[in-house]
């Protein structure tokens, strides 16, 4: 198979330049009542913009104003959550589940403050904005809405009394975030009507530096696997002014549990890595030798540009068994959690061995922007892979699970992956995906392209003998759930109707579920659901969900040197 070059002629509506041109056209005014029609809460929007005193009254200025209001409220909410967490008298009243949910909320609220500060700061450079920046703004605002929803869901799930206390402030701020997202995307739409051509994307090659080197990913992997530990230090290799494809490397360390290398745990290697590194600094490489690492790993928000390399699937294994049944929140049940942007993992297995009876038990949670996983496996049962938020890419990975085992609200693209349904508990139904989009303006969804959806080997035997378990492509976790399957093999395990309701008719007319040129015994669409939100996509619709259009992957994936298809695939080789 190969990529179809026609993809560059199409674009997804959230990935185009808007603020640069809007600032140039800022004299074109618009009334708040018209601008607010683009938001889910027009009345609230008009109330917010009634305090807008600047001139001119343009969509661009409305957007900037709303971001400022969001920042103020996010800081207040973060302070409130922190108060509950840091005052011993307050904390002592909480159950374990409540404390866990509040801890997650604290982390998510801090992320929201960071994201909004980043947006506000970069908006000051509006005259020099690119389409990459616009996609980043939309992605961060979408992530902010998702973080808020996650906090609220976890408080409710914990049956916390504090959920009632925080319900109103959480709901108010959630609506405010949605208003800001709507205003910004409305400004984008206005810009699109004036600018038919896409701005030229920069190659974004990293700056040259004599302490860094760029080389192909496969060469790097081979070199680091055979390198003794004394070669693992900074600035030793310099390839000069390299302009060819490859990955820019700053420093590398080696992990093994035997005490013969730099670190014995992956967590210690991450802690040693630099804070807040920039793309031009290069990747900090962590090579984890073949072993089973029984540890719970967190890549926090300030640990950016990390590249984790293992010795292969089922050779370098990171494993844990936290679950909701055992008192963990879904968000923090993960064996491995990533928040630091531009994280890359290659040749690693991530496991949660809690088992199907423990219900939600996450192997990997990913809320890192511009993150990539290549030749990795994710093994669990319910809620295996939590694609929580922001832009993500998975290539040639294996994902195993039962109920909702790929779930979340990222803009996530899966290419050339093997997706394996496992045997669930009795009377359970398997759903491959549970996408959690809550706002129609979020640029999020799950796109599964050129993948294989089949039963895991042990489950396949069971299906052949009994065929009692029902399996589905997905179900709508949230009202605006969005998932597409394109050019993928769908095995006979999938029910002819294809998709499953979550809660009666909720979301069936607001979701977006699409299929495009899939094949295999489970790909027959003649008996598919007849929901208003389900469609058989044509080529132009499918192109909206490709790497090029859905995540603007062509602007950041080349820096990882991971192979990817930017558009649709056609027969005729790789």
Catalytic residues: 404
Q: What is the DSSP letter of 263?
A: B
Contacts of residue 287, Cβ cutoff 8 Å, sequence gap at least 6: 224, 225, 232, 252, 253, 254, 255, 309, 310
Q: What value does the CA radius of gyration of the chain take, rounded to a whole number of Å?
A: 23
Q: Is 230 exposed, middle or buried (0-12, 13-18, 19+ CB in 10 A)?
A: exposed
Of 390, 351, 349, residue with least CA distance to 373: 349
Half-sphere exposure of 451 (CA within 13 A, CB side): 25
Task: Give the contacts of 193 (CB within 8 A, at least 6 positions apart).
Answer: none
122 CB-near residues (< 8 Å, 6+ apart): 133, 137
By C-alpha distance, which of 486, 509, 513 is closest to 570?
A: 486
Q: Which residues of 389-408 are buried (b: 16+ CB within 10 A; e: fewer)?
A: bbbbbbbbbbbbbbbbbbbb
Q: What does the alpha-carbon distance between residue 133 and residue 381 come to, in Å, rounded to a whole number?
A: 37
Cα torsion 387, 389, 390, 392 to 10°: value is: 0
**Degrees, nearest 5: CA angle 403-409-413:** 85
Q: Which residues pair with 306 in a beta bridge?
A: 284
Nearest to 513 by CA among 491, 485, 479: 485
In the chain, how long is the greatest CA-to-CA distance? Answer: 71
Q: What is the dihedral of CA 260, 265, 266, 271, to 10 degrees?
A: -100
> Distance (Å, rounded) from C-alpha 29 to C-alpha 138?
22
- Nearest CA-CA partner of 441 in 70, 185, 175: 185
Residues 6+ positions from 461 with CB-CB distance below 8 Å: none
How far, in Å, CA of 17 to CA of 135, rounded? 8
The alpha carbon dihedral of 478, 484, 489, 494 has a sign of: positive
């Amino acid at each position: 198979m190969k990529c179809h070059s026609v993809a560059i002629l199409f674009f997804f509506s959230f990935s185009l330049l808007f603020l640069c041109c809007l600032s140039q056209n800022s004299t074109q005014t618009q009334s708040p009542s018209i601008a607010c029609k683009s938001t889910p809460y027009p009345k609230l929007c008009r109330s917010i913009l009634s305090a807008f005193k600047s001139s001119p009254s343009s969509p661009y200025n409305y957007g900037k104003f709303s971001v400022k209001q969001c920042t103020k409220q996010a800081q207040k909410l973060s302070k409130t959550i922190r108060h509950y967490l840091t005052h011993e008298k307050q904390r002592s009243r909480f159950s374990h589940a409540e404390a866990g949910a509040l801890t997650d909320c604290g982390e998510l609220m801090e992320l929201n403050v960071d994201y909004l500060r980043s947006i506000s700061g970069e908006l000051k450079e509006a005259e020099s904005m690119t389409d990459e920046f616009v996609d980043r703004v939309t992605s961060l605002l979408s992530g902010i809405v998702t973080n808020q929803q996650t906090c609220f869901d976890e408080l409710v799930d914990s049956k916390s009394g504090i959920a009632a206390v925080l319900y109103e402030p959480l709901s108010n701020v959630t609506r405010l975030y949605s208003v800001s997202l709507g205003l910004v995307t409305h400004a984008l739409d206005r810009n699109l009507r004036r600018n038919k051509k896409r701005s030229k994307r920069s190659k974004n090659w990293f700056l040259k530096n004599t302490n860094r080197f760029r080389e192909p990913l496969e060469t790097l992997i081979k070199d680091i696997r055979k390198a003794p530990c004394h070669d693992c230090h900074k600035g030793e290799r310099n390839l000069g002014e390299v302009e060819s494809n490859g990955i820019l490397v700053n420093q590398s360390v080696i992990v093994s549990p035997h005490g013969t290398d730099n670190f014995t745990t992956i967590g210690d290697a991450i802690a040693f890595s630099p804070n807040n590194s920039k793309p031009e600094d290069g990747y900090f490489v962590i090579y984890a030798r073949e072993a089973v690492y029984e540890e719970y790993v967190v890549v926090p928000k300030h640990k950016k540009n990390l590249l984790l390399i293992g010795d292969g699937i089922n050779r370098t294994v990171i494993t844990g068994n936290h679950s909701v049944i055992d008192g963990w929140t879904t968000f923090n049940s993960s064996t491995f959690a990533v928040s630091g942007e531009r994280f890359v993992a290659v040749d690693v297995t991530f496991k949660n061995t809690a088992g199907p009876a423990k219900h939600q038990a996450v192997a990997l949670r990913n809320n890192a922007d511009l993150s990539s996983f290549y030749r990795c496996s994710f093994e669990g049962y319910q809620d295996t892979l939590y694609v929580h938020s922001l832009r993500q890419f998975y290539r040639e990975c294996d994902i195993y699970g039962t109920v909702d085992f790929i779930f979340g609200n990222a803009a996530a693209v899966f290419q050339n992956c093997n997706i394996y349904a496992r045997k669930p508990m009795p009377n359970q139904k398997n759903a491959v995906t549970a996408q959690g989009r809550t706002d129609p303006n979020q640029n999020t969804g799950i796109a599964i392209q050129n993948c294989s959806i089949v039963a895991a080997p042990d489950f396949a035997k069971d299906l052949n003998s009994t065929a009692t378990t029902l399996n589905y492509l997905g179900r709508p976790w949230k009202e605006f759930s969005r998932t597409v399957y394109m050019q993928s093999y769908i095995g006979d395990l999938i029910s002819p109707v294809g998709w499953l309701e979550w809660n009666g008719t909720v979301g069936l007319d607001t979701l977006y579920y699409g299929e495009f040129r899939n094949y295999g015994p489970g790909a027959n669409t003649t008996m598919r659901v007849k929901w208003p939100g389900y469609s058989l996509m044509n080529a132009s619709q499918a192109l909206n969900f490709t790497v090029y259009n859905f995540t603007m992957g062509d602007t950041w994936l080349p820096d990882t040197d991971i192979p990817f298809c930017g558009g649709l695939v056609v027969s005729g080789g790789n």
